[in-house]
Structure 1
Amino acid sequence: MSHTYKFDVKMTCGGCSGAVERVLKKTEGVDSYDISLEKQEVIVKGSIGYDDLLEKIKKTGKEVRSGTTVE
């Protein structure tokens, strides 16, 4: 089953958003993602669980301020 998650991630530059993108690109269960440096927002669609996805994003060293399941 596919879910959509929205995370508020503290990203200050292209390197920050690039680090998150590299992790998501390699993560199994991620179908698509949208990273907005301007909005400090990461939206992910896929079959991966919320907690697993949260851990993957946190491993980049970026601060995840909040996260919700959209669908």
Structure 2
Amino acid sequence: MSQKHVFNVTMTCGGCSGAVNRVLKKLDGVENIEIDMEGQKVTVTSTLDSDKLLETIKKTGKECSYVGVA
């Protein structure tokens, strides 16, 4: 079952949000990605667990943390 997971991600430019978007899109099980640059939040609708998603976002080198289910 899909859930919406919310993460705080430090993003300073379009390149940052683009990198986060790219790594998440590569995962099977990710249905939707919403990026809020101003609020420094990324919302991911996925069947994957939050640990897997957080681990993937960390690959971009950005500071990130898991907020919870939206």
Q: Normalising by structure 2, what TM-score?
A: 0.92
Within the alignment, does 1:26 sit opposite 2:23 as a pair? no
- Aligned residue number for residue 66 of structure 2: 67
Length, aligned pairs only? 70
In structure 2, stretches of 5+ residues that fail to align are: none
- How far off is 1:67 after superposition? 1.2
Within the alignment, does 1:42 sit opposite 2:65 as a pair? no
- How far off is 1:69 after superposition? 2.8
In structure 1, stretches of 5+ residues that fail to align are: none
Instruction: Supply the AA of the counterpart residue of 2:33.
Output: Y
Structure 1 stretches of 4+ moved >2 Å: none
> Taking every aligned residue pair, what percent have the same amino acid on both sides?
56
Q: Normalising by structure 1, what TM-score?
A: 0.91
> What is the alpha-carbon root mean square deviation over aligned residues?
1.1
1:16 and 1:10 map into 2 onto residues whose CA distance is 8
Which secondary structure does the structure 1 equivalent of 2:35 belong to? strand
